Every structure is written in C-alpha cells, then in structure tokens.
Chains A and B, each alone.
Chain A
C-alpha cells in the first residue's frame, strides 16, 4: 500500500472513531453487556468481540457503504440498570443492539427495544423466559436453556446415571435450567432425588452436601455460575462424594479450577462452543489475543457472530430500517458463521442445539462428547 492509501485508511479509521460527528455516514450499533459488577469479565469480553467484528467489517468497506460504530450500554447484570442502559441506547438512535448476558437483566429490556423497533440480537442470555416476552424484534443466537437441559439429560443418562441431584443458585438463569432439567430427567423415566437452591455468595454448602450425600444420586448437576459452583464441587468431594458432577454453561470458566483445584478433576461442563473448540475460530483467537492480550472468553465467538449477523442482515435488507432488518434476520440461513450455521425457529431462537460437553482433565477443558 502506498503512502496515500495508508493515509486514506487512517482517515477512514479516524472517521470511524469520530463516529457521532459523521452520524449520517455511520451505522450505530448498541452493545448491551455488563461492564461493571460480578459478571463484568464476561461483559468486557463480549464487548471486545464486538470491537473485533466491527473493525473487520469496516476494513472490508462497512455496511451499505457506511462504517459501523458501537456504543456500550452497561446493564451491570441488574434489571433496573439494564432498563436505564437500554433507554440510553435507544435515545442514542442505535439501529440494532447486540449482547445480553444475564437473562434476568435482558428480560425487562425486551419491551424497550420492542417499543423502539430496534432489532436485538441476544448473544448469550438463554433463559426460556425470554421467549414469551419477545415482542418479535429479538433473536437468540445462543441455544436456549431447554436445549441445554436436553443435552445434559442425554449425556448423563448415557453415562449410566439413574438418579440426579440438581442444585441452582436462585437466579433467573440457573433456576430456569434446573427446572427444565428436572422436567426432562423425570420424563426420561429417571429420578431427581434432590433439588436444592443455594444463595449467591454463600460460602458454606454443608447442608446441601449432606442432603445430596443422603440422597446418594449417581450425578450432581450444578446449573449456576462458576464462583459458587467451585465451592460446591470442592465441598462435595471433600465430603467424599464420588459420583458424576456436571455444571452448566455459566460455570464454563477456568476460574472454576483456580478455586476448586483438584476437586474439579473429571467435572463435566455443558456449554456453547467456546473459541478453542471451534475449528473456524483459529484466526479469531489469534486476532483477539493480538488485540486484547488474552484468550477470548466463552461468549466472545457468539457475540462476534452477533455483530456480523446484524451487518449481514442490513446488507441483505439493503437498508437499516428496522422492519426490513428484522425480516432479513428471520431469513438467516445457509451462512457458515464462526459458531456454526444460524437459522431461527418461529420463536426467533436458534434452530439447532450448539451445546457440547467438556471435561476437566488436569485443570483444562477437553471435549468429552466426541
């Protein structure tokens, strides 16, 4: 590239950064993720993925001849703050929103984006409670909780488990997954011998551990997040429980190993495919590492796809008008994304299950279902 060309690229980048000043020349995308609070690591990771996607799209000429810009709305994983963040995004005239991590925080924002006719691609939240609350403009590209429950039941039954203990943390996501799993497990003709609810941040799980040991389940399924899950796993193993332990996608973190240590050996995790298990994501991982100095987290690939999907839909619609973009999203099919093909059901949820099973071997995740 000659000097002139380089200048032109830099000028283009400057325009992209100076976004609002060139409002007519850009397409503003909202990113609703928690960037503060206990879930902030996930949120920042998702925002990083959007940055990568945005830059790639802009480098390739943008969408409809315009550059993409992004504005972050911090929902702090809290319903009330999420409403504020969503209103702020809407008032900044974003043409689409990508993100949504905590289901409980995503839920009340659906109406706001719906009223404002803003297409919303939900890239992580996957509680089934979101489905009936969707006014029609939201699209869930992570598999929903019921698909995770199906995967969990099939896998655990395949391991020979007949009796199951389910532990959740009393929040929207983990309770939803726990209830769905209980229903599926019972329907499969097996027995749920213990169903327990912990409180977030409770350190002592002895009461739950004793209840589980008394019920002697073949497997224990923790449906909530890694921080507390690690404590439960540790205390279960410490008390001498020898059965199968499995965790849901909220516990897909290497921090689980840091806290639970050797106790986490052999723990299974049901999760959407993280970057390291996606054959198509090699370049993505490299770019992410080069840009942010760390490995992409569990929801980075999905969120990256979310941003690309929005760009694809706008291009296909030939317009940024919400009705046209929403119609285009509904027809999404046949494109191979980082996380696999995306096609939607009539409820705007992902038409296939993307869940895989991982196992902790020497404090690293390896595929367990291949």
Chain B
C-alpha cells in the first residue's frame, strides 16, 4: 500500500468510527444541555440498543431476512425501546435527584450504568453474542480505496439521522423548547414551557440515537458484549467535549475529529495501536484543561 492509499483508508476508518462517536456524543450533549447531567449510562444505552436489535432481528429474520431491511426494522424498534428506557431512567433515577448536590446525581448516573451493564452481564453470562446478518463484504474500489457497501450505508444512515435531528431541533416547537431549556430552565418554566416533557423528549431522542449507533455497530462488527458501551461512552464524551459540550453541531464535529485523530494518531511512529486509548484520553484531558468550551461550545462562567 502506498502512503496515499494508507492515508485514504485511515480517513475512511476515521469517518466510520467518527459516525459512531458522533451519534453517541449527540445524546450526551443534548442531555447535558437540558439537565446539566453527565449521563454515565449513555454508553450502556448504546449497548442495550445493540442487544434489543439483535433480539428483534433474530425474531423477524425468518420473515424479512437478515439483510439491510431487517436491520433497519430492528434498529427502528431498538430506537423506540431504548428511547423509552431512557425516559424511564430519567423519571426513576434522575428526576428525583435534580435538586440534589451534583456529586449525588453523578453517582446515581454511575449506578444506573452499573445496573444496565450487570443486568446484561447476568442475562448473557458475560458471553459475547454473535450478531449474525446476511451482509457480505462487497463494495466498490475508487482509486486505491475500497469502500464496502456496509460502510456506505452506515455513514449515510448516520448522516441522515444527524440531519433529521438538526431539522427537528431548529424547525419544530419541541426543538426550540429544547434549546430554550438548555439556556435557562427556570425562565422556560415561568414562560409556560412544560419542562419535564421537554426533558423526557430529549432523553428519548438521545437514547434512541445511541440505540441506532449500537445496532449499526452490532451489524457492522458482528458481535455484542455487555461491556461494549464503556469505552465508546468515554470516547463519545471526549467527542462531545472536543466539539463543545451542549452544542449539537459540536458533537457531530467532535465525533468526526476524534475518529480521525484516533485513526491517524495510531499511525504516528512510536504511538502504535497499544497506545490508542491513551491517545484519546490525553486529547480529552488537554482539551478540558486548555479549551474546556471545545471547538463550538459557548463559554460559560459556571463552575462547580
């Protein structure tokens, strides 16, 4: 492989990886926007989405097959189910804690994450589950670059979801309410906006996006594991911070930037794959220390 070809491939890898990061980062950032909570359980919703989709797919693959149509259907159902799960979690665990000290609510979020992980651990006995699909490895070669159909569909799907989200947030009443709540919750309540509903909708959308990412990851990589949300949760948080936490375009940008950074970073001589995760955590710490508002975030005075 020539150097150009390697760079092109890494760019493609970065794009695929970045799409997953961005979808998960969006949920982080939206939820952070409305209730200023770092939802530790968000990565686990990605995991849950993958498992729900696998259940659905194995139930319906006899009728619609295990190709893209079946996967889309499974993804849609997983999005709805996990979206509802997100709303339930918010109602049960976070809502009663909103007035509590920041420390308590963070620990609660951690507890929710542990409950989700260990539920799946107990149900799956800690084993990897194979996500069997009928997707092949076909694709097209453009120049020195070979792109599989799966990669195209995946990136296209991610883009579609993000555009839909952007339209929802900027063009609909709920979207505007969501942005208003992010700016000033109390004022919104005074103006008659139903803040709990807006928060619920935000959790639904954020969780559904994570479930979509989980489904696509399952179909693309071929396996699921109860702990698969941990690392991507951390990475997606990093992406959200790079883009500027609370900013929706920022989460998309941050996801892509992190995907690219990881892809190219591991090719730097002396770094290598064994330092891949260290590399992203160092980037995270540097961004937080030197530019905590990220690339597109608003500067905020609050510090807690």
Contacts and interface: CB of A to CB of B under 8 A. Distances in A.
B228 interface: yes
Contacts of B146: 239-240
A234 B150 CA distance: 13
Given A201-B228, A213-B1, A214-B1, A207 B148 contact: no
A230 B222 CA distance: 9
Contact of B221 (A197, A234, A237): A234
A207 B222 contact: no
B263 A206 contact: yes
Contact of B125 (A40, A197, A234, A238): A40
Nearest to A170: B274
B128 interface: yes
Interface stretch (A148-156, A254-262, A317-325): A254-262
B137 A210 contact: no
Interface in A190-228: 196-199, 201-204, 206-211, 213-214, 216, 227
Given A206-B13, A213-B1, A197 B267 contact: no
Nearest to B272: A196
A204 to B, nearest CB: 5
B273 A234 contact: no
Contact of B223 (A208, A227, A238, A263): A227
A344 B227 CA distance: 40
Contact of B225 (A196, A227, A255): A227
B266 A207 contact: yes
A65 interface: no
Interface string A167-188: 0001000000000000000000
A216 B9 CA distance: 15
Contacts of B17: 204, 206
Interface in B251-285: 262-263, 266-267, 272-274, 276-277
A20 interface: no
A275 interface: no
B130 interface: yes
A301 B167 CA distance: 61
B238 to A, nearest CB: 15
Contacts of B125: 40-41
Contacts of B6: 210, 213-214
Looking at chain A, what size class is its interface with the partner chain? Answer: 35 or more
Nearest to A167: B273
A210 B16 CA distance: 14
A135 interface: no
Interface in A230-266: 230-231, 234-235, 237-240, 255, 258-261, 263
B217 interface: yes
A37 interface: yes
Q: Chain B, interface size: which category?
A: 35 or more
A207 B262 CA distance: 8
Contacts of A209: 13
Contact of A255 (B20, B128, B231, B263): B128
A282 B230 CA distance: 44
B10 interface: yes
Given A210-B6, A216-B1, A231-B223, A238 B277 contact: no
A319 B93 CA distance: 61
Contacts of A331: none
A261 B136 CA distance: 10
A208 B137 contact: no
A182 to B, nearest CB: 14
Contacts of B108: none
B132 interface: yes
B69 interface: no
B196 interface: no
Contacts of A235: 221
Interface in B1-21: 1, 6, 9-10, 13, 16-17, 20
A40 B126 contact: yes
B194 interface: no
A207 B267 contact: yes
Contact of B130 (A36, A206, A240, A255): A255
A206 B84 CA distance: 33
Interface in B113-172: 125-128, 130-132, 137, 146, 148, 150
A261 B132 CA distance: 8
A64 B197 CA distance: 75
Contact of A197 (B132, B217, B273): B273
Contacts of A17: none
B36 to A, nearest CB: 30
A196 B276 CA distance: 11
B263 A202 contact: no
B263 A207 contact: yes
Contact of A199 (B13, B221, B231): B231
A211 B148 contact: no
A202 B231 contact: yes
B223 A211 contact: no
A240 B16 CA distance: 17
Contacts of A231: 221-223
A23 interface: no
A201 B227 contact: yes
Given A199-B277, A201-B231, A38 B126 contact: yes
A12 to B, nearest CB: 34
A41 B127 contact: yes
Given A36-B126, A201-B227, A263 B13 contact: no
A203 B228 contact: yes
Given A206-B10, A214-B6, 17 more contacts: A36-B126, A40-B126, A196-B273, A196-B274, A197-B273, A197-B274, A199-B231, A199-B277, A201-B228, A202-B277, A203-B221, A204-B20, A207-B10, A209-B13, A211-B273, A255-B128, A259-B131
23 contacts: A36-B126, A41-B125, A41-B127, A170-B274, A196-B273, A197-B273, A201-B230, A204-B13, A204-B16, A204-B20, A207-B273, A208-B273, A210-B6, A210-B13, A211-B266, A213-B9, A214-B1, A231-B221, A234-B221, A238-B148, A240-B146, A259-B222, A263-B137
Among all A-B residue pairs, the 4 with the closest Cβ atoms: A197-B274, A206-B13, A258-B130, A227-B128
